[in-house]
Amino acid sequence: MDEASRAVFAAADVHYLPSGGARAAAVLAADAVFSAVLAERTVLLRQVLPYRPGEFFLRELPPLQAVLADVSRLGLLVIDGYAVLDPAGCPGLGAHAHAAFGVPVIGVAKTRFGTATHAVEVLRGRSARPLFVTAAGMPADQAASLIRRMAGPFRLPDALRWADALARTGHDHTTTARPETR
């Protein structure tokens, strides 16, 4: 496979600012387990919609679209949250992102959502607390297997931890320098 045809894998998160805006961050990798990180990106949106119960995706999806706007060859997106909210397929943020980007999306949640009884529990590192994995565009068991194998020794995969830290810290630029993993 030549360089131009290789997929890019992204882990992304959004942090909401007291000003009413949001900062989205993405970690881009050459492989689905994020062992070969290519770049980090952040983008600041001055305004986002306020939170509305049942419509979280309306607030979160625009920042994700902004931070991934010019990423070509996106092959997979990993987000902090749920892809599907219940066994019947009620769409969560990940399902809306799957529709928007046209790629498989894995939702990795740190807390149980009441109706998400279908979420696959994944233990990582030494943690006794599971992550709750759902997916849109791929089987949930395959998504859970990938999350188990993702780089990093902690409960949350390094790529998601890194995206969260970038979204919170305010590096409003693109860089290829990887901060040290703690």
- 111-133 pLDDT, tens digit per residue, is 999 999 999 999 999 999 999 99
pLDDT given at position 5 = 57
User: Is the pLDDT reported for residue 1 higher than 70?
Assistant: no
- Tokens 């979280």 sit on residue: 56
- What the block records as the tokens of 18 is 């007291």
In this model, does residue 175 exceed pLDDT 50?
Answer: no
Tokens representing 182 are 């703690």
Mean pLDDT for the chain overall:
89
pLDDT at 6 over 70: yes
* Cα 55 → chain centroid: 18
> Collapsing DSSP states into helix, strand and coil, what is residue 85?
coil
pLDDT at 22 over 90: yes
- Is the pLDDT at 177 greater than 70? The verdict is no
**Region 100-120 average pLDDT:** 96
User: pLDDT tens across 39-70, in order?
Assistant: 999 999 998 877 777 677 878 999 999 999 99
- For the chain, domains (ranges, CATH) are 3-169 (3.30.2170.10)
pTM listed for this prediction? 0.89
User: Residue 58's pLDDT is what?
Assistant: 77
Provide the Cα torsion 37, 76, 53, 109; round to 10°. Answer: -60
